[in-house]
Amino acid sequence: MPSDDEPVDEGKRNFLKVMVAVSVIAAAGGAVKAVLQNVKTPVAGITSFPTMQLYWVPPNSTSSIPVPLKTADFPTNSPSIFVFDYPLQGEPNFLLKLADASGKPIKIESTEVTIPATGAKFMSAPGVGPDQNIVASSAICEHLGCVPPIIHYYTPGTPIPGHPGLVNTYKNGLIHCNCHGSTYDPLHGFAVVTGPTAKPLPNVVLEWDPVSDTLYVKSMVGPTIYGKPSDLSGGTPFPVGTTTTTVTDLGTPSS
């Protein structure tokens, strides 16, 4: 042990200081790592379904700025794919205004729909608008998650790949997924018509304001969106204060 009279070895002292500091940092780092390993990555989401007004850029508009969508301007039985995000960003939904082959609007009533995968039942979202023929659903296939344009609405009388008999049986149009052949009935809660899907498309609950002729999205019913335990989590919420979602025309698919 050095006596008080011995000269202090500054180099040795500094070396020891550095080693102590390194040990402290290493220990702290290990503790932080342990804490981080025990903290689950937070799942982004929202606590309830937001109410959002549907906006769009009307066909032939001279402006690219979206405005409230009026049902009178929205095309009936359009072969074009119209989608909007809800309840989180990047989660597409179909918007459909349905009519029979002659163009006569089809009033769509709420009906009991079975989820074949579980046997559970739910009441479908009814049609809204002046003719009660406007409906919406998730546009993500409940089989393995294919999205538009490979899944889309086939207008009345349009042949459906792999299902020639369906045109006559379901003469008022169907949603079909070309990935593996699942088909859904938009007139009856987007129920399963053909597999391999074992779940209907989640229904979007719409509300029509007759004064302004505009549409609002309120919530969803039926199974959850494909691959999600909850419609409200596991995605990217809209920025706080967002009250509108924009309907986009993806165009008409070739098949």
Q: Is 177 in the site for ligand FES (CB under 6 A)?
A: yes
Only one of the segments 9-17, 101-109, 140-148, 163-171 lies at the binding site for ligand FES (rule: CB under 6 A); that segment is: 140-148
User: Which position among 179, 198, 205, 250 is part of the footprint of ligand FES (CB under 6 A)?
Assistant: 179
> What is the torsion angle, in degrees rounded to the nearest 10, for the CA atoms of residue 13, residue 19, residue 25 and residue 29?
-170
Q: Of 67 and 144, which CB lies nearer to ligand FES in the complex structure?
A: 144
How many positions of this chain bind ligand FES (CB under 6 A)? Answer: 13
Q: Per-residue string for binding with ligand FES, 11-50, x by CB under 6 A?
A: ----------------------------------------
Among 144, 198, 205, 221, binds ligand FES (CB under 6 A): 144
Say how many C-beta atoms besides its own lie within 10 A of residue 165's C-beta.
Answer: 8
Task: For residues 202 and 125, give the distance between their C-alpha atoms in angstroms, rounded to a whole number.
Answer: 10
Between residues 163 and 180, which has the closer beta carbon with respect to ligand FES?
180
Answer yes or no whether residue 106 interacts with ligand FES by CB under 6 A. no
191 vs 4: CA distance, rounded Å: 91
| Token pair recorded at residue 172 | 């008022």
The SS3 of residue 245 is strand
Q: Where are the beta strands (DSSP E) in the chain?
A: 52-56, 67-68, 82-85, 92-97, 112-114, 121-123, 134-138, 151-154, 174-177, 183-185, 191-194, 203-209, 214-221, 244-249
CB atoms within 10 A of CB 245: 22
Which residue, 135 or 177, has its beta carbon nearer to ligand FES?
177
> Which C-beta is closer to ligand FES: that of 75 or that of 159?
159
Interaction of residue 140 with ligand FES, rule CB under 6 A:
no
- Cα dihedral sign for 60, 66, 71, 74? positive
Q: Which of 163, 180, 188, 218 binds ligand FES (CB under 6 A)?
A: 180
Shortest Cβ 190–ligand FES spacing (Å): 13
**CA-CA distance, 150 to 19, in Å (whole number)?**
62
Per CB under 6 A, the list member of 77, 182, 203, 245 interacting with ligand FES is 182
Taking the least distance from each CB to ligand FES, the nearer of 184 and 216 is 184
The candidate with the shortest Cα–Cα distance to 152, out of 81, 220, 103, 46, is 81
Residue 18 DSSP SS3: helix
Question: Is residue 198 close enough to count as binding ligand FES by CB under 6 A?
Answer: no
What letter would DSSP give residue 49? P
Q: With CB under 6 A as the contact rule, which of the stretches 47-55, 142-150, 216-224, 229-237 interacts with ligand FES?
A: 142-150
Q: Report the alpha-carbon distance of residue 86 to residue 242 in Å, rounded.
A: 12
Q: Which is nearer to ligand FES, 151 or 220 (CB)?
A: 151
Q: Footprint of ligand FES on this chain (CB under 6 A)? A: 141, 143-146, 151, 177, 179-182, 196-197
